[in-house]
Structure 1
Amino acid sequence: MRALIFPVCWLLLMSPAAWGTVFPDEPRARTPLVISAALDLSVVSPLLEAFQAAHPRIDVDFREDTTLAVNDSVSNGPPAPDVVISSAMPLQMARVNDGWARRLDSPQARAWPDWAKWRNEVFGFTFEPIVMVYRLDLARHMLPPQTHADLQQLLTSHAELLDRRVTTYSPQVSAIGYTLSQQDARYSTRFWELVDAMGQLNAGLERDTQTMLEGINEGRYWLGYNLIGSYAMAYAQHHPDIIVQVPMDYSLVMMRMVFVHRDAEHPEAAETFVNFLLGPEGQHVLAGQTPLFSPLTDMAGPWTARRLREQVGEHLYPIPLDASLLAFVDPARREAFMRQWRETFGSVEDSPSASP
């Protein structure tokens, strides 16, 4: 787990009365804010820095961890985290459904799109495409895939060359990997044929996007399937041999889900942070400075849902943020799905130390 404490910027020349005028929505005293997040600090830093600049009397304690650890942090208190952020959408929904979230009644929460929130308790504040990634030198051997059909064709026509050189999430040990596989099966009638093709090539099953990106960059893998686009795009900015492809036939879209913990020790600071995420200030940072993408249709910038639709068309399928996510945490459904996965993929040797 990584934690980052952002220092407080003291405004020495301002009186407490002036503070109230400049920051009417903040707690009067210096306040800590604990955020438990499955979100890479390197990607979200511009957002945290902008929040800190706007609210200098709130000390942000950002605790980056795995989706499983973040999920456990919800009920492992006291103390509880003030804010919970995760890409594991079904786990977040299950926690909210069990009553762990505080309902927000702010202008930002009320104005947030209905399709990206649930009961004004949990909010999807990003719009991250799920992508394919390949090494630039793959093009020397074959035409890089642009669609799922292209990918399946490559896996069968270049089987010998791609043996052990393809990677994807392990749905067994990764919460987001399991969710993506379930959604793929929902949208594609050929999903299980793709799983079979990857199994025939002894594809490497990994627990996170970062590990897959590192494997592709090092040459252990040539091609990666179902990586989180925000991480892949940020990585590719500093690794020119890495090419990110948003599938042109259909692309799943994941949303980071955020809620204020019902037992937050600093609820005012927590609500201030979530309102910042949902408001124009936070969304402008997402759209302009991070590849997390703003879901708002009226937001301008290089990282927006609108810009993504202009490039890909209408083949973007956001994972629904509604009660249907609860089905994915049902143990019987999970076991049935994983049984079919193992039978189709073949031998699965997941590392016992791996985690979502």
Structure 2
Amino acid sequence: MCFADFPARLTGILLGLLLSISAAQGFEIEDRRLFEATDERTRLSVISTADLDVFEPIIRAFQASHSDISVDYVVTGTTDLMQALYDEGASFDLAISSAMDLQTKLANDGFAQTHTPTASATLPTWASWRDQLFAFTQEPAVVVVSDRFFPPGEAPQNRDELIAILRANPELFQGKIGTYDVRRSGFGYLMATQDSRNSDAFWRLMEVMGRLDAKLYCCSGDMIRDVASGKLALAYNVLGSYAVAQQNTTDGFQIIEMSDYVNVMSRTALIPRTARNADDARIMLDFLLDLRSRKDLVAASGLPAIDPAALLANPSLRPIRFGPGLLVFLDSLKRQSFLRNWENSLLQN
């Protein structure tokens, strides 16, 4: 039977229902590519917040060892990934995200499957949670500064210095500061809430940025490009791995790890409850967990692997730990309060 067989009114109702169902799948896909296997046996569906050019070397290397697994790689934002799995029940075999708090909530609320890594893929105890959520990188949140505004050796090295420089030169930095719009970015929200727990300087810095009409961004890549071009003087809480990768091909900016403290995020992976191909997801998850043994992939992707020695060598590095503490700022009332304070600080004009 076709639509022509239906009365006009019934056809309208049916079309409305179909449109409603389509609209319900509301998470935004930023990029997508199918990496076809040489001799496809199965297909692995991955939803990820990592840019395609960052993750492609890892997928290619994975397929070199598993030439019968095609990989359908979907790129989305951190909050969209959460929406897809938590609210919409979308079916993906592996979920990779830089928002550790949102991933923790997925696992905590029963949206992840248990996995026991192979012996070669074992991690430090702090890099996994409940055998459901696993870290495979350690990436600092950094400040990126423009060479046009900060000659070598003149960039601020800690938050107090940054606040002092911004306060002393409002005419120079008006409209020239960038940071995450934490209302839109799950990673940005995670970094901001961790900042608020680490130091009172965070709120002083947000107020100064607000008076300078700070520009708000969704993504690290956009901020880095605007700093490199001189459109921005600096960007705060940029993902360090992306900054390093872009510095390899772009001049015009410096990367500063604040000496008072550096929040270190771990990119995490879990196997969603809705996975249809959990077997191959486990194979790829183990491959990711063994990233620290593949220096070639670390170099090609720009994703720093788990490195406990680096954390011991630099006491200013503060890795964000898994656990219930990451869920505190996801409580609706706590989130509303935090965002209200953040808006009062940043949106002063």
Same fold per TM (> 0.5)? yes
Q: Relative to structure 1, is the Cα distance of residues 166 and 141 closer, same or farther in structure 2, using a 3 angstrom cutoff? A: farther
Q: Where does structure 1 lack aligned partners over 5 or more consecutive residues?
A: 11-28, 298-304, 349-356
Q: Relative to structure 1, is the Cα distance of residues 141 and 75 closer, same or farther in structure 2, using a 3 angstrom cutoff? A: closer
- Structure 2 distance, partners of 1:76, 1:140, is 47
1:262 aligns with 2:283: no
- Structure 1 distance, partners of 2:119, 2:288, is 9
- Structure 2 distance, partners of 1:290, 1:35, is 17
The offset of 1:285, in angstroms, is 4.4
- Structure 2 distance, partners of 1:33, 1:115, is 28
Q: Relative to structure 1, is the Cα distance of residues 159 and 326 closer, same or farther in structure 2, using a 3 angstrom cutoff? A: same
CA displacement 1:29-68 (0-9 Å, x = unmatched): 7110000001111112221111111111110111111112
1:101 aligns with 2:112: yes
Q: Relative to structure 1, is the Cα distance of residues 282 and 265 closer, same or farther in structure 2, using a 3 angstrom cutoff? A: farther
Conserved? CA contact 2:84–2:90, under 8 Å: no
Match of 1:343 in 2: 344
* SS of residue in 2 equivalent to 1:138: coil
The offset of 1:279, in angstroms, is 2.2
CA displacement 1:83-141 (0-9 Å, x = unmatched): 00111111111111111111012324983222111111011111000000011121259
Conserved? CA contact 2:185–2:219, under 8 Å: yes
For residues 1-356 of structure 1, the aligned pairs below 5 Å read: 1-10=30-39, 30-75=41-86, 80-108=91-119, 111-140=122-151, 143-279=154-290, 283-297=294-308, 306=310, 310=313, 313-347=314-348
Q: Relative to structure 1, is the Cα distance of residues 253 and 280 closer, same or farther in structure 2, using a 3 angstrom cutoff? A: closer
- Structure 2 distance, partners of 1:130, 1:286, is 21
The offset of 1:237, in angstroms, is 1.2
The offset of 1:286, in angstroms, is 4.7
The offset of 1:290, in angstroms, is 2.9
| Aligned alpha-carbon RMSD (Å) | 2.2
Q: Where does structure 2 lack aligned partners over 5 or more consecutive residues?
A: 1-29
Q: Give the TM-score, by structure 2 length.
A: 0.85
Give aligned-pair identity as a percent: 31
- Structure 1 distance, partners of 2:157, 2:60, is 36
Match of 1:22 in 2: none
Q: Relative to structure 1, is the Cα distance of residues 164 and 309 closer, same or farther in structure 2, using a 3 angstrom cutoff? A: farther
Conserved? CA contact 2:121–2:289, under 8 Å: no
CA displacement 1:220-254 (0-9 Å, x = unmatched): 21111110111111111111112211222210011
The offset of 1:161, in angstroms, is 0.6
- Structure 2 distance, partners of 1:142, 1:288, is 27
Conserved? CA contact 1:47–1:285, under 8 Å: no
Conserved? CA contact 1:82–1:260, under 8 Å: yes
Q: Relative to structure 1, is the Cα distance of residues 141 and 317 closer, same or farther in structure 2, using a 3 angstrom cutoff? A: closer
Q: Give the TM-score, by structure 1 length.
A: 0.84
Conserved? CA contact 2:44–2:280, under 8 Å: yes
- Structure 1 distance, partners of 2:312, 2:214, is 30
Conserved? CA contact 1:102–1:259, under 8 Å: yes
After alignment, is 172-181 or 280-289 more displaced?
280-289
- Structure 1 distance, partners of 2:58, 2:254, is 25
Conserved? CA contact 1:163–1:201, under 8 Å: yes
- Structure 2 distance, partners of 1:267, 1:336, is 38
- Structure 2 distance, partners of 1:230, 1:110, is 22
* SS of residue in 1 equivalent to 2:348: coil
* SS of residue in 2 equivalent to 1:150: helix
CA displacement 1:140-193 (0-9 Å, x = unmatched): 599211221221111111111111111111122221111111111111122111
- The structure number with the bigger radius of gyration is 2
Conserved? CA contact 1:109–1:120, under 8 Å: no
* SS of residue in 2 equivalent to 1:63: strand
After alignment, is 154-163 or 169-178 more displaced?
169-178
Q: Relative to structure 1, is the Cα distance of residues 123 and 285 closer, same or farther in structure 2, using a 3 angstrom cutoff? A: farther
* SS of residue in 2 equivalent to 1:126: coil
